[in-house]
């Protein structure tokens, strides 16, 4: 039996994706392009994967920008509006984590500031820049990639957990203000995802493996076993939910935070 494609009603819309070079951001970018969108992708550095999409004729503009700087997020949003004259969707995806294997007392002010700049303040700044354009669009949408760690405090990533908890709280509060103005705000909170953040060089598994003196694959396997499904989430699985929440098909959904964690979180 052939399954008919699920039309999300996104064709022709302008989308900004932060942290688009790899992993979840790249999967989100590819998903919006496949749905017929014009995508402006923010990445600290161009990547081969993004360039390949451009070479294939995708309606994709790549903006090299450091989103942890004060001016970076607004520059990205400005580039999108300058190129396309409007903005319909903002995806706050940029994020990073550094395991604090030496504990809380070894986590400096600079560590905390870096973590919040990348994982929280970048989204606040991008949202501030995008919001007037999303309101003008009449049906603007913001989807933010938070983390299961917003609800799952872990001393190994204590600053990351705090930043993601702040991010989820920010999105919920904002949704109440801007809903009457026609802008919907939702979060997607993945558990461990098959990306370089976990499995790459200097990723979580390798860093923790070195600290504990064990094989990184064993670290990743133990973490995956904590999910009811027994595996990591794929970037495409996160991207599919992001696209749905960004689409008219989820028209009365706002202020929500959806877990994509394979059942890792026990609480309702």
Q: Taking the model in full, what pTM does it have?
A: 0.93
| Burial class, 155, CB count within 10 angstroms (exposed 0-12 / middle 13-18 / buried 19+) | exposed
Q: Which residues contact 160 (CB under 8 A, 6 or more apart)?
A: 97, 98, 115, 119, 147, 149
Q: How much of the chain is in helix, strand and coil states, percent to nearest 5?
A: 50, 15, 35
Same domain, residue pair 200 and 187: no
Same domain, residue pair 108 and 183: yes
For residue 12, report the phi and psi dihedrals to the nearest 5 degrees: 85, -5
Same domain, residue pair 110 and 146: yes
Same domain, residue pair 121 and 138: yes
Residues 66, 49: Cα–Cα separation, whole Å = 18
Instruction: Name the active-site residue from 164, 172, 210, 258.
Output: 164
* Weakest mean pLDDT among 10-19, 37-46, 59-68, 191-200: 191-200
102 C-beta neighbours (distance < 10 Å), count: 9
Same domain, residue pair 115 and 45: yes
In a domain, 216, yes or no: yes
pLDDT in tens, 80-95: 999 999 999 999 999 9
Q: What percent of the chain has pLDDT over 90?
A: 81
What is the CATH classification number for the domain harbouring 175? 3.40.50.720
Residues 16, 81: Cα–Cα separation, whole Å = 10
172 catalytic per annotation = no
164 catalytic per annotation = yes
Q: What value does the mean pLDDT take over residues 224-250?
A: 94
Residue 226 pLDDT grade (very low, low, confident, very high; cuts 50, 70, 90) = confident
* Weakest mean pLDDT among 29-43, 92-106, 201-215: 201-215
Q: Structurally, how many domains does the chain consist of?
A: 2
pLDDT at 195 over 90: no
Same domain, residue pair 151 and 223: no
DSSP 64: E
Region of 85 please: left (phi>0), alpha (psi -120 to 50) or beta. left
Token pair of 88, please? 């319909």
Same domain, residue pair 39 and 97: yes
Beta bridge partner(s), residue 257:
187
Same domain, residue pair 82 and 99: yes
Q: Are 243 and 17 within 8 A, CB to CB?
A: no
pLDDT at 211 over 80: no
Domain span at residue 203 reads: 194-232
In a domain, 2, yes or no: no
Average pLDDT, the chain: 92
For residue 135, report the phi and psi dihedrals to the nearest 5 degrees: -65, -45
In a domain, 57, yes or no: yes
Q: What percent of the chain has pLDDT over 70?
A: 94
pLDDT at 259 over 50: yes
pLDDT at 229 over 50: yes
Per DSSP, the residues of 77-120 read: HHHHHHHHS---EEEE--------TT-GGG--HHHHHHHHIIII
Instruction: Name the active-site residue from 160, 172, 176, 210.
Output: 160
pLDDT in tens, 144-183: 999 999 999 999 999 999 999 999 999 999 999 999 999 9
């Amino acid at each position: 039996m052939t399954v008919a494609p699920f039309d999300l009603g996104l064709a022709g819309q302008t989308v900004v994706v932060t942290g688009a070079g790899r992993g979840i951001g790249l999967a989100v970018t590819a998903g919006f392009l496949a749905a017929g969108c014009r995508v402006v992708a923010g990445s600290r550095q161009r990547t081969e994967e993004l360039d390949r999409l451009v070479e294939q004729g995708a309606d994709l503009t790549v903006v090299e920008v450091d989103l942890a700087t004060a001016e970076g997020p607004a520059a990205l949003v400005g580039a999108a509006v300058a190129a396309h004259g409007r903005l319909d969707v903002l995806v706050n995806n940029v994020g990073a984590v550094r395991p604090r294997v030496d504990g809380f007392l070894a986590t400096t002010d600079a560590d905390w500031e870096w973590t919040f700049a990348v994982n929280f303040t970048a989204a606040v700044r991008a949202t501030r820049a995008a919001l007037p354009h999303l309101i003008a669009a009449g049906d603007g949408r913001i989807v933010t990639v938070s983390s299961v760690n917003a609800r799952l405090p872990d001393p190994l990533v204590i600053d990351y957990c705090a930043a993601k908890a702040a991010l989820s709280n920010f999105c919920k509060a904002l949704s109440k203000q801007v809903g009457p103005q026609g802008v919907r705000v939702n979060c997607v909170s993945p558990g461990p995802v098959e990306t370089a953040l976990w499995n790459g060089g200097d990723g979580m598994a390798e860093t923790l493996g070195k600290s504990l003196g064990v094989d990184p694959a064993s670290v990743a396997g133990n973490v995956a076993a904590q999910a009811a499904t027994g595996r990591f989430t794929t970037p495409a699985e996160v991207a599919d939910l992001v696209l749905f929440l960004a689409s008219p098909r989820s028209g009365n959904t706002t202020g929500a935070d959806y877990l994509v964690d394979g059942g890792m979180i026990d609480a309702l």
